[in-house]
Amino acid sequence: MYTELAAVAMIIGGMTVAKAATNVTKADFGRTKEGTPVQIYTLANSKGMEARIMTYGGIVVSLKAPDRNGAMADVVLGFDSLKAYEENNSPYFGALIGRYGNRIGHARFALDGKEYTLEKNNGENTLHGGSHGFNTKVWTARQLPDGGLELTYVSPDGEEGFPGKLTLVVVYRLTEANALEIGYTATTDNPTVVNPTNHSYFNLKGAGNGDILGHLVTIHASRFTPVDVGLIPTGELRAVKGTPFDFTTPHAVGARIGQKDEQMQFGTGYDHNWVLDASGGKLALAARVEEPETGRVLEVLTTEPGVQFYTGNFLDGTLVGKGGKLYAQRNGLCLETQHFPDSPNKPKFPATTLRPGQKFQSQTVYRFSTAPAAKK
């Protein structure tokens, strides 16, 4: 294990000012079933915030953020050991998702007139790139001089049924502004589709400290993509106004989740893609989550056009998480920034096609702060 202090200096008016000082440490985190060694990197800023990310799945294993009194808590769900991530059939806790985030309907799509058949790993459909998605791969890591952690995965042509050899480079950075930034860059040698995301489950009270039903959520989206019973978008962009999907103003997750609504029933809660109002490819605020008891606030910024808001509906209390805590239904929420599900089969959705010579680039920021207690 070694430590490296990466400090970026900025010169302002002849004075040198330290802009960012990310302390990066690296340690072994065991070996996969196949015997591949896995490392875990700890990114820490001078405010006490800390992100631990491992090379298996590019998984954010833990993320410590302060509450309004400065007390730190690990705000993402996960496991203590690599073995648990491999064997517990992890519901993608903290993982990098690829080649295609969320679902592709009927596990097939056509590109340039050619049909591609994928794995049906979610009913009739493909979920998160198939059962051997990027979340199960050991990524190649490199520490960047500015304190960033670069992870690279090269997906061979035909892997999980997708055409083209795809190279995905993801850079994680922890900033002095208490933000975990994730940058994605993808290139291919043949036409393909790509839709990467990160699948962290947040609980701003701390992982394992109960449900997220009291978290106040705002999503800057006036439309969402309704789904069929298999959670495949119908193709419609539906206004959220007048529905339990309207988070244009803050609402507690639990306030409307039990309503008799067909979409809510299909999702067993929230498990839908919101169409972000600011989807111009510029980094913009997509969502905000505030936890009233601790005051922790998470803001999600992205260049992506959509966000999958998923309320941990499939967690059932059987998974033993970090520190031996059990994760029950709705104990975590995901805000997976992405292109819309099933875009390869929905010509009217923003395209997810990537061709040789093109570069897919996107950025997502998970920024933490605190809010004062509400006056009683």
Query: Which residues are catalytic, by number?
Result: 199, 336
Closest separation between CB of residue 21 and ligand GLA, Å? 35
Burial class of residue 89 in the structure, from the number of CB atoms within 10 Å of its CB (0-12 exposed, 13-18 middle, 19+ buried): exposed
Distance CA 181, CA 183 (A): 7
Q: Which residues on neighbouring strands pair with residue 302, listed in sequence order? A: 284, 364
Angle at 62 between CA 90 and CA 274, to 5 degrees: 65
Distance CA 338, CA 322 (A): 27
Q: Which is nearer to ligand GLA, 233 or 295 (CB)?
A: 233
Among 216, 334, 335, 354, binds ligand GLA (CB under 6 A): 334
Q: Which is nearer to ligand GLA, 116 or 266 (CB)?
A: 266
Amino acid at 374: A
Name the 3-class secondary structure at 250: coil
Closest separation between CB of residue 276 and ligand GLA, Å? 17
Instruction: Say whether residue 197 binds ligand GLA (CB under 6 A).
Output: no
Closest separation between CB of residue 10 and ligand GLA, Å? 39
Residues 336-355 that bind ligand GLA (CB under 6 A): 336
Instruction: Say whether residue 127 binds ligand GLA (CB under 6 A).
Output: yes
Residues 95-114 that bind ligand GLA (CB under 6 A): 102
- C-alpha to C-alpha distances, 20 to 6, 7, 17, 23, 178, nearest whole angstrom: 8, 6, 9, 10, 11
What tokens were used for 60?
């954010």
Q: Which is nearer to ligand GLA, 22 or 362 (CB)?
A: 362
Instruction: Say whether residue 92 binds ligand GLA (CB under 6 A).
Output: yes
What tokens were used for 271?
């498990």
Site string for ligand GLA, 291-310 (x = CB under 6 A): -----------------x-x
Residues 227-286 that bind ligand GLA (CB under 6 A): 231, 271
Q: Which is nearer to ligand GLA, 86 or 336 (CB)?
A: 336
Between β-strands 37-44 and 2-12, what pairing exists: parallel, antiparallel or unpaired?
unpaired
The residues binding ligand GLA (CB under 6 A) are 91-92, 102, 127, 231, 271, 308, 310, 314, 334, 336
